[in-house]
C-alpha cells in the first residue's frame, strides 16, 4: 500500500486519508456502474441519470469502506490499541495499527467488527430501499443505488470473512489458533500461509479469466491475488520483527562512533569528504560535544553547485526534530516505524543537545536476520 496519501477529514479522533491510487478505483467504479451495471439492470434511463447513479454508488462505496474500517478502529481503541488512521487505497481500505493485539480475544473482536459492520450496512440499505420504496415510492435511480449498496456491503463483509490473513477472516482464524495453541507466532504463520494460498488461487483465477477472454476482469483478480499474497507475507514478517524487537531500546542497536560534520565546513568539502566518502543521507552537525542540527544530502539540491565553496554546512543545516532524532530509551519498534514513515534509513540518537550515537536501519535488519537464523520462525 505504498503511495502518497491525502488527509480528507478527521472522524471520532481518527484521520481519514485517501491514497492517490484510490482515485483510479473511484473512476473505475463510477465508469463501470454508469456504463455497465446500471444500464444493464435498469433500462430506459438517460445517460445523465446513469452517471449520477454511478457517482452516488461510488460515494456510497467510500462511505461503506470508511464505516467498515472505522468499526475496526473503534474496537481497537476500546482495547487500548493505537490506530494511526484510516487510509483508502486501490484495493479497499485499512485501519493502520501500530501494535499487535494483546490477546486472542482482542484480535477476534477487532477483526470481526468490520464484517459485522458491513453486514449491518447491507441490512440497513436493503430495508431502507424496501420500506421507503413501498411507503414513499422512491424513484428508480434512488432505489437502484440503495440496492447496489446493500449488495456491495454484503459482498464486502463476506469477502473479508475468507480465512486468509491479513484479511478479517484470516485474523479471526489467527485469533482462534492463538486461543487454541497459545502461540501468536505459530498462529500467524498458519494464517499467513492460508493468505498466501488464497492469493495464489486468485492469481490462477485471473490467468484463467484472461485465457478465456475476460482480460480486464482477469487482470483485476490477478492484481488482487498478488496484493493478498504480498500482504500476507509482509504482515507475517512485520509480526516477527515486532516480537523480536518489542521492548528493546534503541541504545541496543545504535552506533556510538558517529560521523559528525563541523558547522564551518564549506559545502564542496562536505560533499567530497563526507557524502562521497561515507555514503550517508543524513549527517549530524556538531560543535565540540554539542549537537547543533543536522544536514541531509537532499538539501544540497536546493543550492547551485557554483555556490557550494562559499556556503557552509551551518548555513544549510536544519534543527534536529522528532522526525530525525530519537532518545536512546525509545522502543526499537517505534524507531523502525518512524523510519518507515519518514523514508529515512538513519536516525540520530541524542540526550538533550548531546549526540550519543546513530541508529541505522541496515544494522537493525541484519540483527533481525541473525535472530531469525538462530531462533527460527517457530
pLDDT per position as a tens digit, 155-171: 999 988 988 888 889 88
User: What is the percent of the chain where pLDDT is above 70?
Assistant: 90
Q: Is 175 part of any domain?
A: no
| Residues 196 and 301 placed together within one structural domain of the fold | no
Q: Is 170 part of any domain?
A: no
Q: Is 171 part of any domain?
A: no
> Taking residues 135-143, what's their average pLDDT?
79
| Residues 272 and 242 placed together within one structural domain of the fold | no
Helix (H) or strand (E) holding 80: none
| Strand ranges, E, within 215-315 | 282-287, 290-296
CB count in 10 Å sphere of residue 197: 13
274, three cell numbers:
563526507
Which residues contact residue 359 at a Cβ distance below 8 angstroms, ignoring those fewer than 6 apart? 250, 253, 254, 255, 326, 335, 346, 347, 349
Q: Is 166 part of any domain?
A: no
Separation between Cα atoms, residue 165 and residue 101, nearest integer Å:
15
What phi and psi values does residue 153 have, to the nearest 5 degrees?
Answer: -70, -35
| Residues 141 and 206 placed together within one structural domain of the fold | no
Q: Look at residues 126, 161, 196 and tell me which one is the last residue of a structural domain.
A: 161
Q: Which of 109-113, 218-222, 278-282, 343-347 has the lowest mean pLDDT?
A: 343-347
Q: Which of 36-40, 340-344, 371-375 has the lowest mean pLDDT?
A: 371-375
**Residue 359 contacts residue 349 (beta carbons within 8 Å):** yes
Which residue in 219, 116, 194 sits closest to 161, CA to CA? Answer: 116
pLDDT attached to residue 1: 42
User: What secondary structure letter does DSSP report for 40?
Assistant: H
Say if pTM beats, i.e. exceeds, 0.75: no
| Residues 24 and 155 placed together within one structural domain of the fold | yes
Q: Look at residues 206, 230, 246 and tell me which one is the last residue of a structural domain.
A: 246
pLDDT digits (tens, 9 = 90+) for 320-371: 887 888 888 887 777 877 777 676 778 888 888 888 888 888 777 777 677 6
pLDDT attached to residue 146: 92
Which residue in 73, 106, 90 sits closest to 2, CA to CA? Answer: 90
Separation between Cα atoms, residue 121 and residue 59, nearest integer Å:
14
Number of domains in the chain: 3
- The whole domain housing 286 covers 250-375
| Residues 63 and 157 placed together within one structural domain of the fold | yes
The Cβ-side half-sphere exposure at 300, using a 13 Å CA radius, reads: 21
Judge whether residue 87 has pLDDT over 90.
Answer: no
**Residue 70 contacts residue 11 (beta carbons within 8 Å):** yes
Tell me the three state secondary structure of residue 357: strand
Judge whether residue 378 has pLDDT over 50.
Answer: no
Q: Is 173 part of any domain?
A: no
Which residues contact residue 114 at a Cβ distance below 8 angstroms, ignoring those fewer than 6 apart? 68, 69, 71, 72, 157, 160, 168
Q: Is 193 part of any domain?
A: yes
Residue of 43, 69, 233, 306 marked active site: 69
Q: Is 168 part of any domain?
A: no
Q: Look at residues 198, 214, 246 and tell me which one is the last residue of a structural domain.
A: 246
Looking up residue 268, the CATH number of its domain turns out to be 3.10.580.10
| Residues 239 and 269 placed together within one structural domain of the fold | no
| Residues 90 and 236 placed together within one structural domain of the fold | no
173, three cell numbers:
482464524
| Residues 33 and 99 placed together within one structural domain of the fold | yes
The angle subtended at Cα 88 by Cα 85 and Cα 92, nearest 5°, is 125
| Residues 234 and 257 placed together within one structural domain of the fold | no
Q: Is residue 69 among the annotated active site residues? A: yes
| Residues 112 and 127 placed together within one structural domain of the fold | yes
Which range, 12-26, 101-115, 356-370, is most confident? 101-115
| Residues 229 and 207 placed together within one structural domain of the fold | yes
| Residues 146 and 28 placed together within one structural domain of the fold | yes
Q: Is 172 part of any domain?
A: no
366, three cell numbers:
541484519
Helix (H) or strand (E) holding 289: none
Amino acid at each position: 500500500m505504498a503511495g502518497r496519501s491525502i488527509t480528507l477529514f478527521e472522524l471520532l479522533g481518527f484521520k481519514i486519508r485517501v491514497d492517490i491510487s484510490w482515485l483510479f478505483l473511484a473512476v473505475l467504479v463510477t465508469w463501470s456502474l454508469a456504463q455497465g451495471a446500471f444500464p444493464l439492470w435498469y433500462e430506459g434511463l438517460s445517460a445523465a441519470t446513469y452517471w449520477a447513479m454511478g457517482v452516488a454508488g461510488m460515494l456510497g462505496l467510500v462511505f461503506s469502506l470508511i464505516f467498515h474500517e472505522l468499526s475496526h478502529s473503534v474496537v481497537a481503541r476500546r482495547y487500548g490499541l493505537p490506530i494511526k488512521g484510516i487510509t483508502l487505497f486501490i484495493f479497499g481500505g485499512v485501519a493502520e495499527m501500530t501494535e499487535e493485539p494483546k490477546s486472542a480475544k482482542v484480535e477476534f473482536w477487532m477483526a470481526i467488527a468490520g464484517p459485522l459492520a458491513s453486514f449491518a450496512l447491507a441490512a440497513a440499505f436493503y430495508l431502507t430501499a424496501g420500506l421507503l420504496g413501498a411507503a414513499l415510492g422512491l424513484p428508480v435511480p434512488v432505489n437502484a443505488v440503495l440496492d447496489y449498496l446493500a449488495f456491495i456491503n454484503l459482498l464486502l463483509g463476506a469477502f473479508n470473512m475468507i480465512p486468509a490473513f491479513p484479511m478479517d477472516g484470516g485474523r479471526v482464524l489467527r485469533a482462534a489458533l492463538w486461543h487454541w495453541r497459545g502461540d501468536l507466532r505459530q498462529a500467524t504463520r498458519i494464517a499467513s500461509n492460508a493468505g498466501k494460498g488464497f492469493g495464489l488461487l486468485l492469481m490462477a483465477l485471473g490467468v484463467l479469466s484472461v485465457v478465456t477472454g475476460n482480460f480486464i476482469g482477469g487482470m483485476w483478480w490477478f492484481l488482487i491475488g498478488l496484493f493478498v499474497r504480498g500482504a500476507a507475507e509482509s504482515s507475517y514478517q512485520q509480526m516477527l520483527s515486532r516480537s523480536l524487537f518489542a521492548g528493546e531500546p534503541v541504545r541496543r542497536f545504535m552506533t556510538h562512533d558517529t560521523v559528525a560534520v563541523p558547522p564551518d565546513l564549506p559545502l564542496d568539502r562536505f560533499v567530497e569528504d563526507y557524502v562521497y566518502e561515507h555514503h550517508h543521507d543524513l549527517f549530524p552537525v556538531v560543535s565540540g560535544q554539542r549537537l547543533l542540527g543536522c544536514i541531509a544530502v537532499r538539501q544540497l539540491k536546493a543550492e547551485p553547485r557554483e555556490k557550494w565553496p562559499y556556503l557552509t554546512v551551518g548555513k544549510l543545516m536544519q534543527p534536529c526534530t522528532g522526525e530525525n532524532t530519537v532518545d536512546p530509551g525509545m522502543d526499537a519498534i517505534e524507531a523502525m516505524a518512524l523510519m518507515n514513515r519518514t523514508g529515512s534509513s538513519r536516525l540520530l540518537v541524542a540526550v538533550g543537545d548531546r549526540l550519543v550515537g546513530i541508529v541505522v536501519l541496515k544494522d537493525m535488519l541484519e540483527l533481525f536476520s541473525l535472530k531469525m537464523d538462530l531462533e527460527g520462525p517457530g
